[in-house]
Structure 1
Amino acid sequence: MFRKNGADTLIDLLIEWGVDHVYGMPGDSINAIIEALRKRKDKIRFIQVRHEEAGALAAAAYAKLTGKLGVCLGVAGPGAIHLLNGLYDAKLDHAPVLAIAGQVDTAVMGLDYFQEVNLSRLFDDVAVYNQMVVSPVQLPAVVNQAIRTAYAEKGVAVLAFPGNVTNMEMNKGTPYTSPQIARGKVQPLDHDMDAVCAALNQMDKNIVILAGKGARGAREELLTLAEKLGAPIVLTLPAKGVIPDRHPYCLGGLGLLGTRAAYTAMQEADILFMIGTSYPFTVYLPERAFTIQLDVDARQIGKRYAVDVGIVGEAKSTLAQLNERVAYHESREFLARCKANMDKWWDKMESLEEAEHPKILPEYVARAMEEMAEENAVLSCDVGNVTVWAARHFRCTNQHFILSSWLATLGCGLPGAIAAQIAYPERQVFALCGDGGFGMMMADFVTAVKYDLPIIVVVFNNQKIAMIKFEQEVLGNLEYGTGLHNPNFAAYAEACGAMGLRVERKEDVLPALRKAAAAKRPCIIDVLVEADELPQPPNVMVEQAIGYAKHLAKELLEEGKVSLPPILRL
């Protein structure tokens, strides 16, 4: 007769919660859990990754994309430690993730045993729920509470299981709780709505909307409000795609990766309406503007920037209520001026994309990807200069754009694409990676091959950690430690059993993308791009210009092209 042990119960509970796959690596302290997964492989898939960090990053990306629980698994000691970076990505981007970590047997805990690590202390800062399961009797209630908390607080829950506990048989009298979470809508208070309407109904004010990822799913309501107010919309980077980039009300992003039009609009704003964002780079926000902030989480109101009216509620329902109460603004002068600025910006971007150059410009690669991407494609963007090229030169319509927005961890692009293809097997999925970011996680490209995930990885290969090179130069320093020695990534793809395409000429970029899209199999397109193309910010600060001038002077001196008088060499 089949008797359930702790591992069986754990996996059955995951299935009850609707979990259909787990990312991880097998190992001795989790052998019982792996066996339980094997026995239930018709209901829940085990996705074997080559590095636990990739598994945690994939779990985080899956949660960001779907809102469902992402689950990752690591062995005691090093495996659990490897999960940590991906879990911090989930924490900072408010994604519900469950991490299951093995632990040494209870009989040897506290004895500095082989691979013993204090997991409670290790995960204390990253987790909203952090518990070691030391008895099968507590297991069902603890598992349910962990998942319930991860969903309720949109964060990371960690469960550590000593190997002997997962092997113990379950007692027939073990109490079970319900594997479910109650959900409800967060509605604003009437007097807060009154204050917001009073501010927005002022007819002689320049109103700018700053929309964050909290506005995702509220496109219709957001655009209706913007139309009534005559207000342009600026998007935070995590909110890229909330409205189409080419929409006449859209001014693109803000900050170093943003647009000049957005920067100018912020400087001219009389009223700033922040929706679903706690924007951190406050230097780009208006110095003097009446500010309204709408967020589902009261803790985010006024967290980083002084606000005059805070309103707690969900974006979609709250904006729908506002649309019934705000008056139509007849004046479109400010909106027209902002749109004219944005048209100039697009002209500038197009000139950069089409500029003649002996090497392939990264701006052109991003634009070519825009031409190839289907309407519902998912783009998993890595961190670095590639983020700039994607943010500015890939115009989203209905594509889903994800990245490591708050942790900004290199290497997130590939795991995010793996998760996206598992979440949406029918959709086209791209990973946009710099060579530095891809090099960190490239071992897990074989995971895509193993599970026949037809992701298209586009590597912007410039043999540099180029954003850091630019940062060094802006500080007035000489470039140091940023050069990369790369393999042929296309040949690597072929060695993994996938398609590999190496592109060295501009005219071959689009054909390569078409070939990869038609192949319906994992592919790496290794594009050799210009290394010295600068991710110039939309508004160059004086300090940046001075720093870069210092860098150029130092570079000329190092190369012996300039000889200074002795007194200036001191």
Structure 2
Amino acid sequence: MGQTVSEAVIRRMHEWGVHRVYGYPGDGIGEFDGALGKAERKGEGFEYIRPTHEEMSAFMATAHAKFTGEVGVCIATSSPGAFHMITGLYDAKSDNVPVVAIVGQQGLASIGTFTQQEDNLERVFADVACYVQTITTPDQALAVVDTAFRTAIARLQPAVIVFPHDVQGMDVGELGAEHWVSRSSAVAASTRITPPQDELRRAAEVINAGERVTFLVGAGARGATDEVLAAADRTGAGIITALRGKDVIPADVPYHSQQVGLLGSLPSLHQIQDCDTIVLLGTNYPYGEFLPKSGQARGVQVDLKPEQLGVRYPTEVNLWGDVRSTLDALLPLLEQKEDRSWQEKIAAEFHDWEQEMERQAMLTFPDGGNPRRIFHELNRRLPEGAIVTCDAGTTADWYGHHIRLRRGMQGDLSGRLASMNGAMPYAIAAKFAHSDRTVICTIGDGAFQMLGMNELITIKKHLAAWDDPTFVVIVMHNDDLAQVSWEMRTEDGNPVWRTSQDVESVDYAGWARLLGFNGITVTKDEDAAAAVEAALAHRGVTVIDDVVTRNAPPLPPKITSEYRNNTVKAFAKGDPLAPQVLVDSAEGIVSEGIERVKGALHLGSKEG
């Protein structure tokens, strides 16, 4: 008995290892959805997760790729559903992960005739996707599917298949050796790329000549933890991780000083300012002001994305390869360094920094809870194998400053795109991928109100399927789009505009209870520890509604004159929150005063 194009595509997706898809139905993809339903009834389908919005499906597919190393797959109907997925697909593009999106289209005869829900989808997706193709004939279908998956894997980017409604239901036969017919295979291209030996020797010469080597490690080094540590041990290098690479290097490595930049640590900043050699491993770190000055340090970069080599810092050697294979080949060429003074200096500074972070977490504010406190208490209680997601905004500051991921733990967020609204779909996808592990979502109230609150409904639908139902959502309830409020002050010298910045206060714990979940409201810092303990002990979903001040400053490791002067300008222009901000900022700055003085002395600067 013959099969339809949709049935053939489903079988091919199985060959590509797909076992879960994130989709939202609609008439433009209806025939394909019907085939998915038929396959499910026969026990041959995928686990089909339907969130509350197509944007969530694309974010979930992106997160699935990040947390599993597999291709994420999302499905939506024609124009409106397809358009809704674009933000999530840009997240995949920005963070270099493979996703395949299948989007419906009106029938072939309607293309280009301005009928309802018919738009030029190939043109729409041309920028976000590394491959976009419409399936126009049954003979072409499998070649398009194979090329989409193969290209997404090789290019580490999203690919889009446009699937017209009438083609979805056409009959497909066996492909013969005919002109114009591609008989393709469901086999990925190898991505274990090792640079040539002469280039490896050049890189080794640069690294061996360094006395103060720093490794800047990103998410592109996932799977190469042991190799990075072996190279650091041989070269005496200090380690900094980009925010998305936080889980690549265990937090208990003493010379791993966590992140650098606005949400980084002072020891990481000192590493950058003092190193004579920097090695970028699987990172496209975008903040050039937090990289060494030109001419200060010699540079080597390793990345699987050749177009991203040498664009952040004037590196001498750019190695096109995956980090693990490249370091395997590079290690025999690296000289064993006996001098550990560089690593010891970093470790000593970071020990002091950790004490400072605890002091910051223990501060009290007159107008609300300290947002750092619950992250500090969570970090002390993270169970083995935990997965932590965070959203864009000040949530990312507290995550960077206080969460320390041990070996076996994972954490991620919308990185280069830095999109709000990512933490909840990321956490849900992580739970579907690893349902036996504890997942914690940390999110601001603004992002939670976008679509995050709705996704509790998705969790309610699927909770019974998870091996361990423990799922914790920590909502930073400050009634403010706090990161943007601070950026208005510190970047532009403008007062906060409350018309745009205020977030309507909502009983988030009550919303959780309405859905049958556990809801805990925290209004006092001293209750944060008990709330975290109760949430982690509860075999189910817990939403912690953490009521905190909107005025706690996300202080960078070094306060520059620009940061200070712009804030003063904002206050002078009539910032409506200036009195409270001054009090809360003073608390933070006084606590960090010792570190600020150290930083100023270290830099020979009058700033800070």
Deviations 1:213-248 (A, max 9, x none): 222222222222222222211111111021122421
- What is the DSSP-based 3-state SS (H/G/I as helix, E as strand, rest coil) of the residue aligned with 1:527? strand
What is the aligned partner in structure 2 of residue 494 from structure 1? 513
Residue number among 383, 386, 405 corresponding to 1:377 in the alignment: 386
Distance 1:168 1:161 in 2: 12
Deviations 1:145-193 (A, max 9, x none): 1111111111111111111111222235577532221325211222222
User: Where in structure 2 are the equivalents of 1:543-562 lying within 5 Å?
Assistant: 543-555=562-574
- What is the DSSP-based 3-state SS (H/G/I as helix, E as strand, rest coil) of the residue aligned with 1:86? helix
The Cα of 1:557 is off from its aligned counterpart by: 9.3
Distance 2:579 2:461 in 1: 53
What is the aligned partner in structure 2 of residue 390 from structure 1? 399
What is the aligned partner in structure 2 of residue 37 from structure 1? 36
Distance 2:451 2:208 in 1: 51
User: Where in structure 2 are the equivalents of 1:23-422 lying within 5 Å?
Assistant: 23-41=22-40, 42=43, 43-173=45-175, 176-183=183-190, 185-202=192-209, 205-287=211-293, 288-358=296-366, 359-398=368-407, 399-422=409-432
Contact 2:111–2:119 (CA<8 Å) still a contact in 1?
no
Deviating beyond 4 angstroms after TM superposition, the runs of 4 or more aligned structure 1 residues are 172-176, 556-561
Contact 1:226–1:249 (CA<8 Å) still a contact in 2?
no
Contact 1:100–1:161 (CA<8 Å) still a contact in 2?
yes
- What is the DSSP-based 3-state SS (H/G/I as helix, E as strand, rest coil) of the residue aligned with 1:251? coil
Distance 1:167 1:198 in 2: 60
Q: For the aligned residues, what is the CA RMSD? A: 2.0
Distance 1:414 1:184 in 2: 30
The Cα of 1:131 is off from its aligned counterpart by: 0.7
Structure 1 length normalisation: TM-score? Answer: 0.94
How many aligned residue pairs are there?
559
Contact 2:194–2:329 (CA<8 Å) still a contact in 1?
no
Contact 1:37–1:45 (CA<8 Å) still a contact in 2?
no
- What is the DSSP-based 3-state SS (H/G/I as helix, E as strand, rest coil) of the residue aligned with 1:342? helix
The Cα of 1:319 is off from its aligned counterpart by: 2.2
The Cα of 1:256 is off from its aligned counterpart by: 0.8
The Cα of 1:106 is off from its aligned counterpart by: 1.8
Which amino acid counterpart does residue 67 of structure 1 have in structure 2? G
Distance 2:575 2:302 in 1: 51
Contact 2:201–2:333 (CA<8 Å) still a contact in 1?
no
**Does 1:479 pair with 2:481?**
no
Contact 2:75–2:102 (CA<8 Å) still a contact in 1?
yes
Residue number among 418, 439, 442 corresponding to 1:432 in the alignment: 442
What are the ranges of 5 or more consecutive residues in structure 2 without an aligned counterpart?
581-608
The Cα of 1:325 is off from its aligned counterpart by: 2.8
Residue number among 443, 455, 458 corresponding to 1:447 in the alignment: 458
Distance 2:321 2:109 in 1: 49
The Cα of 1:510 is off from its aligned counterpart by: 2.5
Deviations 1:43-96 (A, max 9, x none): 411111110000000000101111111111111111010010000000111111
Distance 2:536 2:213 in 1: 42
Contact 1:228–1:328 (CA<8 Å) still a contact in 2?
yes
Stretch of structure 1 that moved more, 81-90 or 12-21: 12-21
Contact 2:496–2:577 (CA<8 Å) still a contact in 1?
no
Distance 1:492 1:157 in 2: 37
Which amino acid counterpart does residue 408 of structure 1 have in structure 2? A
Distance 2:24 2:95 in 1: 24
Distance 1:45 1:522 in 2: 21
- What is the DSSP-based 3-state SS (H/G/I as helix, E as strand, rest coil) of the residue aligned with 1:138? helix
1:560/1:312 CA distance change after superposition, 3 Å = closer
Which amino acid counterpart does residue 352 of structure 1 have in structure 2? Q
Which amino acid counterpart does residue 328 of structure 2 have in structure 1? A
Percent identity over the alignment is 33
1:551/1:236 CA distance change after superposition, 3 Å = same
What is the aligned partner in structure 1 of residue 18 from structure 2? 19
What are the ranges of 5 or more consecutive residues in structure 1 without an aligned counterpart?
562-570
Which amino acid counterpart does residue 461 of structure 2 have in structure 1? K
Distance 2:175 2:266 in 1: 66
Which amino acid counterpart does residue 208 of structure 1 have in structure 2? T
The Cα of 1:381 is off from its aligned counterpart by: 1.2
Distance 2:578 2:336 in 1: 62
Contact 1:58–1:418 (CA<8 Å) still a contact in 2?
yes
